Amino acid sequence: MTLEEIEQGKAASLAEIAAADDAATVEKLRVKYVGRNGSIPALIKGMKDVPKDERPAFGKAVQAWRAAVEAALAEKGAGAKAAGPVAAVDATLPGRWPAQGVEHPLSRVIADAARIFGKLGFTVADGPDIENPFNNFTALNTPPHHPSQDRSDTFWLAADALLRTQTSPVQIRTMVAAKKPPVRVICPGRTYRRDTTDATHSANFHQIEGLYVDTKPVSLADLKSVLAYFAKEMMGNDGAGVRFRPHFFPFTEPSVEVDFTCHVCKGKGCNVCKQSGWIEIAGAGMVDPRVFGHVGWNPDEVSGYAFGFGVERIAMIKYGIPDIRWLYENDLRFLRQLA
């Protein structure tokens, strides 16, 4: 194509665009001239066949054509939108009321726990979901041969990285960052374990763990009083009690399983608590002195307690949810029942 033919094509295209009277026609002309397979892009692709001494003038003319067409299309498109039909609005019609959102039961339990423990001076600490073996196992007094370190139990990403199996590593990070007591924190968060999903188990669940360490003496009696207050506030049972049963955890000594008075029957016995009057709710104990050693604290100068419980378990008990999978299916019918 010669320079004269380019000028003729430019004039013809601008005339077509000027005559367009609707948005559909404007769009067709855009595709025809500057679309991916349009006339102008085709000329640009064919510049390799133009003699070298003619290419500068040829390219300048084609780019001028393209700029003129795009400007005309933009102007015509804006005019078509402005001249388009305007939908009538009846201001007397009632507005559409948007559906009100519902707080998820897991979010509610975490927020309630933060509020309850906040009254006792606990602050909320957070940490990464991807942890290193030292924070997740070694510092928590878990030996290398412990079953929890097997690939059948833990999601390992690399030799030095894994998805945390508990929120206890946040306690280690908090103590290391604090450098010295006192420390009084709760650590809510998501945790991961290789587990088969069923009505009561999930490979991805939430925990809230607590830690209190001080230079003054700390005892199991202090732990029991804190958990008794938490049980009363969380379960809405003014007569709630707490009982400890001996247990074992690598990072606490002594270790206990913690039961709350059943919030349904108030300890008299019912189907929820299997006629025992108690509901198992948490694990706890005095921090093992070796854990203090791992974070550089002198076990002879500090003492403290730790506790942890599953958020899903409390939600299921408190709201009567029989299947843990309901908490993750995003069924609005289920969530509306808890509004």
Asked if residue 90 belongs to a domain, the reply is: no
Q: Are residues 42 and 174 in the same domain?
A: no
Q: Are residues 188 and 250 in the same domain?
A: yes
Instruction: Taking residues 17-32, report their average pLDDT.
Output: 86
Residue among 239, 161, 207 at smallest CA distance from 306: 207
Average pLDDT, the chain: 89
Asked if residue 116 belongs to a domain, the reply is: yes
Q: Using one digit for the tens of pLDDT, what is the confidence trace for 57-103? A: 888 888 898 899 888 888 877 655 555 555 567 788 888 777 777 88
- Range ranked top by mean pLDDT from 13-22, 212-221, 270-279, 323-332: 212-221
Overall pTM > 0.75: no
The answer to whether 272 and 319 have CB atoms below 8 angstroms apart is no
Asked if residue 96 belongs to a domain, the reply is: no
Q: Structurally, how many domains does the chain consist of?
A: 2
Q: Are residues 115 and 149 in the same domain?
A: yes
Q: Are residues 124 and 77 in the same domain?
A: no
Which two tokens mark 91? Answer: 């201001």
245: domain CATH number is 3.30.930.10
Asked if residue 139 belongs to a domain, the reply is: yes
Q: Are residues 125 and 41 in the same domain?
A: no
Last residue of a domain, one of 50, 82, 114: 82
Q: Indicate whether 177 pLDDT > 80.
A: yes
Asked if residue 327 belongs to a domain, the reply is: yes
Instruction: Taking residues 191-197, report their average pLDDT.
Output: 90
Which helix (H) or strand (E) segment holds residue 253: the answer is strand 252-261
Q: Report d(CA 181, CA 216) in Å as an integer.
A: 10
Q: Are residues 143 and 242 in the same domain?
A: yes
Asked if residue 91 belongs to a domain, the reply is: no
Q: Are residues 182 and 325 in the same domain?
A: yes
Q: Are residues 74 and 26 in the same domain?
A: yes
* Residue 11, domain extent: 3-82
Q: Give the 3-state secondary structure of residue 319.
A: helix
Q: Report d(CA 166, CA 148) in Å as an integer.
A: 11
Asked if residue 87 belongs to a domain, the reply is: no
Q: Are residues 62 and 190 in the same domain?
A: no
DSSP letter for each residue of 211-234: EEEESS---HHHHHHHHHHHHHHH
CB atoms within 10 A of CB 193: 17
